[in-house]
A and B are shown apart, each in its own frame.
Chain A
């Protein structure tokens, strides 16, 4: 065990100097990319994901067209340079397909798909750097890309990874921690407290589960707040650059 990294030392610090419940730096970039209708690049520490959203547009295949709602298509691309071992995965890889499916299922109940019948929303996820918490970063970036694309969504979805070291839960795991600890990824809608995704690929003692869920839910609210601030700032900037052409209406109940 001597060569192993100490996950949580006696002083209560983790291998990268964070405390138990501390999240990594969140970087959000909402610059438009090429011809995409909406895009967002999100970093949680060293994990970086770029998401481009296209649509709603005509479905590529007739069979994908749904008469009463939009079809959501998620494609995931893992850059070979995103990990230390440069391995090229092709798009047909079963793990990647499952990963894409879990992103799609996270957003299906959140996007108001019934507003866009017979059309398709394409979500292209590019994983540029991996250092743990890849799924959480993908989900957070997808939320932001959808919002910048102007696609109607019910609310922000925020995801956080939570692991447990003996009895102490840890938030936002790095690659080292992820490979050593049982962990789960939780995507929530913080305002309503609804959970849209929980995944776990490791074994975990049932007694630890509840505490981890609670913690991840609270952390989700913090992440969502961060995302809201980023969107608000961008919207304000855009409105300002339009010279306040759209006068927002003041609303009061008395009127």
Chain B
């Protein structure tokens, strides 16, 4: 019993089990499989074609591009959480299909010393990263099975502290020139491409990147610095703004966040950091930001 007989195989929208075209003339791409000389769709979505490559792009849930899992690519900057300490490696949750691997050999040790291949190093792994720690890293490599490995071999990468995490759909974070930036309000933001966003107290320029005053020992510290009330307010406001924008599905960039923060500070009641979360205010913010962009 063939239900597809009456289906037009050239229509743009397809669903699993519908044959798209003969595999003699075309190659199969993502979202398809081969069955008896036919390229057959395996997901519900739109048919896409590049030359002789036919693929089906799955169309999913809210707003169509709400992609829940993140697909890692080499060079992506991600924020993740350590889930497991294993032999010579950490497992890091980055919202992808599989947890990413951070090898002991691909982290900077405090003070930039060379790693000695000693057992003592492996036994001390928990002094660098423990389960539950947040870190910022770069995707170093993609494995054949879709897994990935990370590295933190830059002074910009490493353990995160002095701030809070906000999670948004990964589709909202586009690839930018830099994913680290400071807002004028004294808050630093790290936009992870996996949709994890770290909002933290501003790090003064002279304390950055191994210059004088840079505390090498603090790289793996678990202790927050003192954060004053005003900074805490700014961090919370930024986090709430991100929450509102992601709900309205506005792509996040430094300019948009700075604009949104400025707009919020001009409003009455901005001293109450929660006020932005009420629907009326949230709608106004979204309207203001999208109008300016």
> Is the CB–CB distance between A154 and B42 below 8 Å?
yes
Contact of B1 among A218, A231, A236, A247 (CB under 8 A): A218
Q: How many angstroms from the CA of A109 to the CA of B78 in the assembled complex?
A: 35
Given that A58-B93, A118-B147, A241-B64 are contacting pairs, would A232 and B13 also be in contact in the complex, using a CB cutoff of 8 Å?
yes
Contact of A251 among B9, B43, B93 (CB under 8 A): B9
Q: Is B252 an interface residue (CB 8 A)?
A: no
Determine the residue in chain A with the shortest Cβ distance to B22.
A253
Given that A119-B97, A251-B10 are contacting pairs, would A32 and B62 also be in contact in the complex, using a CB cutoff of 8 Å?
yes
Given that A56-B97, A253-B22 are contacting pairs, would A150 and B16 also be in contact in the complex, using a CB cutoff of 8 Å?
no
Q: Which of B45-53, B273-281, B282-290 is the contact stretch?
A: B45-53
Q: Is A164 an interface residue (CB 8 A)?
A: no
> Which residues from A are CB-within-8-Å of B11?
248
Smallest distance from the beta carbon of B91 to chain A beta carbons, Å? 8
Given that A149-B60, A221-B3, A235-B13 are contacting pairs, would A249 and B146 also be in contact in the complex, using a CB cutoff of 8 Å?
no
> Which residues from B are CB-within-8-Å of A231?
15, 44
> Is the CB–CB distance between A248 and B33 below 8 Å?
no
> Is the CB–CB distance between B1 and A118 below 8 Å?
no
Contact of B12 among A150, A154, A248 (CB under 8 A): A248
Q: How many angstroms from the CA of A238 to the CA of B57 in the assembled complex?
A: 13
- Interface positions of A from 111 to 162, Cβ below 8 Å from B: 112, 116-119, 147-156
Determine the residue in chain B with the shortest Cβ distance to A54.
B68
- Interface positions of A from 198 to 255, Cβ below 8 Å from B: 217-218, 221, 224-225, 228, 231-232, 234-236, 238-239, 241-242, 245-253, 255
> Is the CB–CB distance between B10 and A224 below 8 Å?
no
Smallest distance from the beta carbon of A191 to chain B beta carbons, Å? 5
Count residues of chain B with CB under 8 A from any CB of chain A. 48
Q: Is A89 an interface residue (CB 8 A)?
A: no
List chain B positions with a Cβ less than 8 A from chain A: 1-4, 9-13, 15-17, 20-22, 25-26, 31, 33, 40, 42-49, 54, 57-65, 68-69, 83, 93, 97-99, 145-147
> Is the CB–CB distance between A152 and B17 below 8 Å?
no
Q: Is A190 an interface residue (CB 8 A)?
A: yes
Q: Is A38 an interface residue (CB 8 A)?
A: yes
Interchain Cβ contacts under 8 Å between A and B, 23 examples: A38-B61, A58-B97, A112-B42, A116-B146, A118-B145, A147-B16, A147-B44, A150-B45, A152-B16, A155-B16, A225-B3, A232-B13, A235-B13, A235-B45, A235-B46, A239-B12, A239-B46, A241-B64, A242-B64, A245-B64, A251-B9, A251-B10, A251-B54
> Which residues from A are CB-within-8-Å of B43?
147, 150-153
Known A-B contacts: A191-B4, A241-B64. Give 19 more (CB < 8 A). Answer: A38-B60, A58-B83, A152-B43, A155-B17, A191-B3, A221-B3, A224-B3, A232-B13, A232-B15, A234-B44, A235-B45, A235-B59, A239-B64, A241-B63, A247-B12, A248-B47, A248-B48, A251-B10, A251-B54
Q: How many angstroms from the CA of A222 to the CA of B65 in the assembled complex?
A: 31
Q: Is A57 an interface residue (CB 8 A)?
A: yes
> Which residues from A are CB-within-8-Å of B10?
250-252
> Is the CB–CB distance between A56 and B3 below 8 Å?
no
Count residues of chain A with CB under 8 A from any CB of chain B. 53
Main secondary structure of the interface of B (DSSP, over half): loop
List chain A positions with a Cβ less than 8 A from chain B: 32, 35, 37-38, 55-58, 67, 112, 116-119, 147-156, 189-191, 193, 217-218, 221, 224-225, 228, 231-232, 234-236, 238-239, 241-242, 245-253, 255
Q: How many angstroms from the CA of A105 to the CA of B44 in the assembled complex?
A: 22
> Which residues from B are CB-within-8-Å of A37?
60-61, 68-69
> Is the CB–CB distance between A112 and B33 below 8 Å?
yes
Q: How many angstroms from the CA of A232 to the CA of B33 in the assembled complex?
A: 19
> Which residues from B are CB-within-8-Å of A241?
63-64
> Which residues from A are CB-within-8-Å of B59?
150, 235, 238-239, 242, 246
Q: How many angstroms from the CA of A192 to the CA of B2 in the assembled complex?
A: 7
Contact of A150 among B17, B22, B58, B146 (CB under 8 A): B58
> Which residues from B are CB-within-8-Å of A217?
1
Given that A191-B2, A242-B64, A249-B47 are contacting pairs, would A116 and B97 also be in contact in the complex, using a CB cutoff of 8 Å?
yes
Determine the residue in chain B with the shortest Cβ distance to A37.
B68
Q: How many angstroms from the CA of A35 to the CA of B195 in the assembled complex?
A: 14
Q: How many angstroms from the CA of A155 to the CA of B26 in the assembled complex?
A: 21
Max chain A Cβ within 10 angstroms of own Cβ: one of B2, B11, B16, B58: B16
Max chain A Cβ within 10 angstroms of own Cβ: one of B31, B48, B97: B97
Q: How many angstroms from the CA of A43 to the CA of B9 in the assembled complex?
A: 30
Max chain B Cβ within 10 angstroms of own Cβ: one of A58, A228, A236, A253: A58
Determine the residue in chain B with the shortest Cβ distance to A144.
B44
> Which residues from B are CB-within-8-Å of A56?
69, 97
Q: How many angstroms from the CA of A149 to the CA of B97 in the assembled complex?
A: 13
> Is the CB–CB distance between B48 and A249 below 8 Å?
yes
> Which residues from B are CB-within-8-Å of A118?
98, 145-147
